[in-house]
Structure 1
Amino acid sequence: MRRRDRDTSAKERLLDEAEALFAEKGYSAVSVREIIAAANCNLGAINYYFGTKKNLYLEVFRSRWIPRNRLQREYFWALLADQQPLSLIAVVRSLAQTFLEGPLRDEETLKHHQLISREMDRPSEAADLVQEQAMKPFFTKLAEIMRPFLPERLTAEEVMLNVMSIFALALHFQIAREGISRIIGQPYDAALKNRLVEHIVRFSLTGLGQGSLPEAETEQRRN
């Protein structure tokens, strides 16, 4: 194996194992020795590739978390483009489908949310990275496209809080899938995901003062 290939392989192993450990335990609870042992690298590998443990942590977000988030956003915009004409129902449904029906695999979803949850519990430079490159631009765009469908009396802050509330609802039904399945006594399969998507749409529209889904559309979705 050429040196460049070996270097790439070692660097990728460090990123993979560091992400798994940071997601499981949080930044402070993971040692450098633990990472290099999991990645099967020598003691100086982190310093060689990243300089410091903190730089490795930030690179996990840049090269792992941000790309997965970008994939989710691209999936959302593609769904929304297919649901024309643009409407509040289309926006909410596309957001719910993005969280509940794709594009991340279950193991990716778990690691993705564990990593950001631990970071937000004790914010660092990684939180700034996520806010500036992912969350703030996405929320700002969502608020922009939802604004024409909401009451004019709402302030910009209220519109943004509505956007974040819908986002949080969809996120909850993705993260709490095991608990939801157990509580309602139904397998977390495609049929349940579809019902949850429609629940999120109806609940969100009611909360926004837009009523519920048109009866004909509700019946069509159920069938």
Structure 2
Amino acid sequence: MRVKSQVEADRRPLSNNCFKQSFDLLSTCMILTLLPPSPPSPMPTPSPSQAAPPPAESNRGDRARERLIDAAMEIFSERNLEGARTREIAAAAEQNVASISYYFGSKEGLYHAVFERIASDLRQTMGAQIKEIEQLHAAHAITRPLAVSLLKRLMRTLYIHVRTKDSQGNGGVGRLIVREQIAPTPAFDIVYERAIRVVHETTAILVAAYLEADPKDPIIIIRTHALLGQLLVFVTARETIRRRLGLPPFGKLPPETEHRVRDTIARILEEQAEAQLVGLAACNFPTIASPDALHRVISPIQQDPT
């Protein structure tokens, strides 16, 4: 009996302690629910050593890639695709020869990258003017005076683009395009589809607007080609005009002389373009109503070459 009483006596303090702990826990929970929520702790700011590394490696790779394209542009223009050596290109770019395979896959891949650069540069230069002309054409808003103004500006921009590339040491652009025109490879598809075709079509829009014809008329396309050919001759036959004018080699002109010569030729190209349009309209030369009728123009020439 004494043992049982002692056990019950020993349990009473334990029960009291458990009750007290439960009460304290309940009170704490009630207090916490009544308190406003505390603001979330700010995210720790990463230290400079924890931050994302700067894109130095990517920039270095981009620079290496661009230097290879620069070097390849000049060497390909001098020796063509078959004659160029990858070791020579890599040495000119101050890169390891393996970098050509790494960035471009092959010498042919590098050659294509050169033409992607040419097309990208031309589209970047001409993009705003091309978009303006296309929008005006879609709105049927190109009058004869506006056609002349837009054509003159387009001719000047095209010529200065090519001439600027020459003065920057990228004279190979013209030689590459001329070689591809004579013996086209898949690389010509790149520059034609991405740049040359849209420039040619846009110029045809202006010629057709002035002559009140269809831009897709074969005669208009041929006249457009003849018009743009005046500009291209300063690329393909630039050594002739340099010697006729008694100038030092291109790329070695003093800056003031370079600017003066460039501006004079650009102005003459503008005048030639306007004179051609005015003269063609005054003579009222016929055009072809449908591209399918091109044989009417070609056939007589084929039958009588003289």
Question: TM-score of the superposition, structure 1-length normalised?
Answer: 0.75
Residues 1:179 and 1:72: Cα distance change in structure 2 (over 3 Å): farther
In the alignment, which residue of structure 1 is the partner of 2:186? 125
Is 1:209 the counterpart of 2:281? The answer is: yes
Paired with 2:104 and 2:160, the residues of 1 have a C-alpha distance of 35
Q: How far off is 1:73 after superposition?
A: 1.8
Is 1:97 the counterpart of 2:160? The answer is: no
Identity, % of aligned positions: 26
In the alignment, which residue of structure 2 is the partner of 1:8? 62
Ranges in structure 1 where 5+ consecutive residues have no aligned partner: 212-223
* Matched residues, number: 207
Paired with 1:20 and 1:158, the residues of 2 have a C-alpha distance of 36
Question: TM-score of the superposition, structure 2-length normalised?
Answer: 0.57
Is 1:87 the counterpart of 2:159? The answer is: no
Amino acid at match of 2:123: R
Paired with 2:214 and 2:97, the residues of 1 have a C-alpha distance of 60
SS for the counterpart of 1:41 is coil
* 1:46-57 map, 5 Å: 46-57=100-111
| Residue deviations 1:111-135 (CA, integer Å, cap 9, x gap) | 3212211222321111111221112
Residues 1:179 and 1:124: Cα distance change in structure 2 (over 3 Å): same
Indicate the RMSD between aligned Cα atoms, in angstroms: 3.3
SS for the counterpart of 1:49 is helix
Is 1:190 the counterpart of 2:243? The answer is: no
Q: How far off is 1:201 after superposition?
A: 2.4
In the alignment, which residue of structure 2 is the partner of 1:66? 119
Q: 2:76, 2:84 within 8 Å by CA — same for their partners in 1?
A: yes
Residues 1:182 and 1:20: Cα distance change in structure 2 (over 3 Å): closer
Residues 1:125 and 1:194: Cα distance change in structure 2 (over 3 Å): same
Q: 2:72, 2:89 within 8 Å by CA — same for their partners in 1?
A: yes
Paired with 1:7 and 1:152, the residues of 2 have a C-alpha distance of 50
Q: How far off is 1:173 after superposition?
A: 4.0
In the alignment, which residue of structure 1 is the partner of 2:198? 137
| Residue deviations 1:75-106 (CA, integer Å, cap 9, x gap) | 6449979xx85534224312331234458513
SS for the counterpart of 1:28 is helix
* Largest Rg, 1 or 2: 2
Paired with 2:242 and 2:93, the residues of 1 have a C-alpha distance of 35
Residues 1:166 and 1:52: Cα distance change in structure 2 (over 3 Å): same
Q: 1:18, 1:60 within 8 Å by CA — same for their partners in 2?
A: yes
In the alignment, which residue of structure 2 is the partner of 1:42? 96
